[in-house]
Structure 1
Amino acid sequence: MKRIYLSALFAGLGTLAAFGQDFYETTYRGAFAPAPTAMWTQGWANWNPQNTNYGSPNQTISTNITSNTTWTAGNVYLLQGQIYVKNNATLTIEPGTIIMGDKAVQGSGLFITKGAKLMAVGTESAPIVFTSNQAAGSRSAGDWGGIIMLGKGANNQTNGIANIEGLAPTTDTEFGGGMTPDNNDNSGALKYVRVEFPGYAYQTDKEINGITFGSVGKATELDYIQVSFSNDDAFEWFGGSVNARHLVSYRNLDDDFDTDYGFSGNVQFGLIVRDPNIADNPAVSTSEGFESDNDAAGSTNNPQTNATFSNITAIGPYRGNLANTIAAGYRRGARIRRNSAIDIRNSVFMDFQRGIHIDGAACEGNATNGLIIYKNNIVAGNVAGKVTEKNSGSTFNIIGWFDSNNNDSIASTAGILTTPYNYLTPDYRPATSSPLLSGADFTGMSVGLGIKEVSAIANVTLYPNPTSANASLFVDIAQNSTVEVVVMNANGQVMQTVATKYAEVGTHEFTINASDFAQGLYYAVVRTGDAVKTIKLSVVK
């Protein structure tokens, strides 16, 4: 047990988890808990950014930021050109602030250089929005450059240093900590943030993504982020170890989640929504839900790309009907190639032309040796016979590998999600009797609430467990203190505030009323002083 200090633990418990490497353990597969739990996109995501009126800019940013600066709510900021936050400065953006990239100025974008920080922390009701400066109805993918965060973490390039592609290599475009990387590096926080119409092409076929992470360290916080209508990838990680939760890739051009250069972070809860008419030029690049490389050469350089993704809902271009016409660039739910060792679990890939492609002998070897993990996933609604894909001439038993890892293939997408094909009013939660309601497995993963527990609370027990109605929570207090007890669902949302009271040393009983809870896994969370203890509560109906 290790001591922690969580000053804001109960000030907004929907964001309780510290960003360690733990995963929330869910009973369901995919990104969303079943009803009546609300989708975590509620309140801050935007399904119609093309027609949203954001007002007009009243603050122009045309020079680099070299000292601590705050952009305030109520203003609309216009980025004119490539704006670098540098000299270890911190740019703080208040909740509700709008930032626009100027389409008329080449390559407008926001670059957070090594040592600098971007603190863009919005709220559910007041997200921070990065978007095009074009009028509603006239915005296009690639109107501006996007966000580029560069850190001091590890990557597998020469001497641990690389530069963002498409731009002149300078210290401002450099990322990686060299021969002494810092994987705990902190580039700031992005939380309740939307990025719309990014992806400027700085060179032919070298567009910047919605958000690019270059060797970003895991002290950086990434949570509740939506990228929409990017002219390249939505999210791309080049090395680093940053963790993330609650990511939305909405109707972007190329890949949704792209991992390279030894990225080793953990990502949980992600939504991918594709548009049948929006895909890359297949002569240049095919559009994948996941694309994962160790590096462009497929080398054996270390660190090897070994990121872990769990609880992803990926909705491809067919959108429930294989007779639909889709753009020529579409291919797979996941393409793992060039010696990657990625881990994808507890997810659903539906409506893609093909399911999963283990591309090349190096990745086939990684899969055989347990370095590539693709486990407890559902592949549904793809072209017949294309659940799995391997290269021509390969003898790899990919079907046996797929089946042995508890993956499922389903011909039809009917009955998997509630209302997944309505762009403007979607419901991506599991449908009644959906196969997503069960089957998640976190064996071998670091599981918890992201909270390091401490020994100041001597013991916590729960009875009966499972329960269909009430349960008694017994807490042994080691020293006189105020005790706070809540129940959270697997998404970290507070379902019930049980009690806050002063308690003396001894055993105290708290009653949890679970009669209105849906069947599933919950967590009773107890805090006293700086001590935190969690215990699982299983509700059955």
Structure 2
Amino acid sequence: MKKNYFRLIIAAFIIGSSSIIYSCSEDEETITEIVTTGIAQDPDNFKGEVTSGQVVTLDPLKSYQLTGTVIIKNGGTLVIPAGIKITATAGHLSYILVEQGGKIYVNGTAGSPVVFTSETTETGNWGGIVICGKAPINTGSSGSSEIANSIYGGTEATDNSGSLTFVRIEYAGAEFSAGKKFNGLSLFGIGNTTKVESVALLNTADDGIEIYGGTVNVSNIVSVGNTNHAFSYKDGWVGNASNIYTKRKTDGTGNTGITGINNASNDNASPRSNPTIKNVTFIGANSGESDGIKLKQGTYAVLDNIVFSNWSKGVTIESDSTVARFNGKKRITNLLFENTTTEVSLKSSAGSPVTIIDTTYTKKPDATGAGNGILVPSWATGWSGL
């Protein structure tokens, strides 16, 4: 076999990585070496900044120890190839923050997901992933996240913060100040050209995923065993969510499958939260928080093809403007309730029960939810840890 060795620095997403790639044909073997730069150089001490103009790619042949905070600054890019495992070792100081104008590309595959985990397999043992974008929010022209006071929000509905595909985030949700915890994944004002697809949030000490305004679309989301909400949104989110599978802890701890609000201070703030949520399965435990879905404080939404199992209440809608949006308007369709005591309930801003008009929601006895009824959908098996 004739051999041809050459060294190549790749000027695309994989700039800044260090690995060797072999390609063999009948009479030739090619070896490509990629040079590691920046914070990717020491896998045992992964922390620091990706600065403007840098593209840092982790070595796909190594595992990384997240020993502190990783911050992707405006104009910086972090690329994490398929199959990498990143283990947090510094508690609440271990987290990844993407600032406005920064980008993160987590390029897992179904066969080789990227896994973020903790050295101790208990909820709340590290921070999580926080991404701040430039898309509209309804709490002002911009906001400041609780994490590192990072600015988010703006006017760029199509803002791009990168992509997350086939990613598993485990044991996140550490407390970073008194009474305040990280979510597994926090999306602050993210634009709709950011890709969030096939992401699993497991055993988080707060919400699995929380969306703060923006226009981002999410799909193939698994949120299981989290201490607070499986999925929550607020502050003017107007994206789509499809193929969502959530499951409460077996001991009943945890809150809703989805909690959605418009604005905590102003029910009618604009842009109004108005996502389309479809193809969802919510598995409860008939204890703890009682609602599969809770919509309140002015949020709108469209809900379709949803399966509920083991909840005291399937859908709870609160506040005058949210109730008016749904009551009798056929915006909740194709629901299947299994072992659910109250299917849908409405409550005014004053807390009084509201009579439900029969055209508020429709049921479908063979609704598939996330794809497999009350069972784990096929798209979630393997890579998600289920």
TM over 0.5: yes
C-alpha spacing 1:168/1:428, structure 2 compared with 1 (3 Å): closer
C-alpha spacing 1:409/1:141, structure 2 compared with 1 (3 Å): same
Counterpart in the other structure of 1:12: none
Give the counterpart letter for 1:175 in structure 2.
Y
Match of 1:398 among 345, 356, 359: 356
Superposed displacement of residue 355, structure 1: 0.9
Residue 213 (structure 2) pairs with residue 239 (structure 1): yes
Give the counterpart letter for 1:331 in structure 2.
S
Deviates more, 1:83-92 or 1:332-341: 83-92
| 5+ long unaligned stretches in structure 1 | 1-56, 281-286, 319-325, 411-415, 421-426, 430-490, 492-541
Counterpart in the other structure of 1:78: 65
Show the 5 A alignment for 1:58-207. 58-66=43-51, 67-102=54-89, 104-134=90-120, 139-158=121-140, 160-165=141-146, 167-169=147-149, 173-177=150-154, 181-207=155-181
Query: Is the CA contact (8 Å cut-off) linking 2:283 and 2:374 kept in structure 1?
Result: no
Match of 1:212 among 179, 182, 186: 186
Superposed displacement of residue 369, structure 1: 7.8
Matches of 2:92 and 2:245, distance apart in 1: 31
Superposed displacement of residue 243, structure 1: 1.1
Matches of 2:374 and 2:331, distance apart in 1: 30
Counterpart in the other structure of 1:250: 224
Matches of 1:85 and 1:58, distance apart in 2: 17
Matches of 1:354 and 1:89, distance apart in 2: 45
SS at match of 1:74: coil
Matches of 2:344 and 2:93, distance apart in 1: 39
Counterpart in the other structure of 1:266: 240
SS at match of 1:382: strand
Counterpart in the other structure of 1:340: 299
Superposed displacement of residue 407, structure 1: 2.5
Query: Is the CA contact (8 Å cut-off) linking 2:92 and 2:175 kept in structure 1?
Result: no
Residue 284 (structure 2) pairs with residue 310 (structure 1): no
Matches of 1:373 and 1:89, distance apart in 2: 41
Matches of 1:217 and 1:381, distance apart in 2: 38
SS at match of 1:363: helix
Superposed displacement of residue 278, structure 1: 5.0
SS at match of 2:216: coil
Match of 1:373 among 314, 328, 331: 331
Superposed displacement of residue 417, structure 1: 5.8
Matches of 1:111 and 1:373, distance apart in 2: 36
Query: Is the CA contact (8 Å cut-off) linking 2:328 and 2:359 kept in structure 1?
Result: no
Give the counterpart letter for 2:265 in structure 1.
A
Matches of 1:155 and 1:195, distance apart in 2: 26
Give the counterpart letter for 1:90 in structure 2.
T
C-alpha spacing 1:339/1:389, structure 2 compared with 1 (3 Å): same
Superposed displacement of residue 72, structure 1: 1.7
SS at match of 1:81: strand
Matches of 1:148 and 1:374, distance apart in 2: 31
Query: Is the CA contact (8 Å cut-off) linking 1:78 and 1:133 kept in structure 2?
Result: no
Matches of 1:307 and 1:100, distance apart in 2: 33
Superposed displacement of residue 347, structure 1: 1.4
Show the 5 A alignment for 1:270-289. 270-277=244-251, 279-280=253-254, 287-289=255-257
Superposed displacement of residue 390, structure 1: 2.8
Show the 5 A alignment for 1:460-539. none
Superposed displacement of residue 428, structure 1: 4.3
- RMSD after superposition: 2.4
Match of 1:389 among 335, 345, 352: 345
Query: Is the CA contact (8 Å cut-off) linking 1:380 and 1:409 kept in structure 2?
Result: no
C-alpha spacing 1:409/1:359, structure 2 compared with 1 (3 Å): farther
Percentage of identical aligned residues: 26
SS at match of 1:381: strand
Match of 1:407 among 349, 358, 363: 363
Residue 318 (structure 2) pairs with residue 359 (structure 1): yes
C-alpha spacing 1:68/1:428, structure 2 compared with 1 (3 Å): closer
Counterpart in the other structure of 1:330: 289
Give the counterpart letter for 1:129 in structure 2.
V
TM-score normalized by structure 1?
Answer: 0.58
Query: Is the CA contact (8 Å cut-off) linking 1:298 and 1:337 kept in structure 2?
Result: no
Matches of 1:75 and 1:254, distance apart in 2: 33
Superposed displacement of residue 299, structure 1: 2.7
Give the counterpart letter for 1:84 in structure 2.
I
Query: Is the CA contact (8 Å cut-off) linking 1:344 and 1:374 kept in structure 2?
Result: yes
Query: Is the CA contact (8 Å cut-off) linking 2:214 and 2:238 kept in structure 1?
Result: yes
Give the counterpart letter for 1:356 in structure 2.
V
SS at match of 1:352: strand
Counterpart in the other structure of 2:13: none
Matches of 2:162 and 2:328, distance apart in 1: 37
Alignment size in residue pairs: 331
Q: Deviations over 1:173-218 (max 9, x none)?
A: 11111xxx10101000100111111111112332111100001101
Give the counterpart letter for 1:95 in structure 2.
A
Q: Deviations over 1:13-40 (max 9, x none)?
A: xxxxxxxxxxxxxxxxxxxxxxxxxxxx
Q: Deviations over 1:78-109 (max 9, x none)?
A: 2223321103101001110111222x443310
Superposed displacement of residue 418, structure 1: 7.4
Structure 1 runs (4+) deviating above 4 angstroms are 416-419
Matches of 1:368 and 1:417, distance apart in 2: 29
Matches of 1:114 and 1:365, distance apart in 2: 36
Matches of 2:139 and 2:95, distance apart in 1: 25
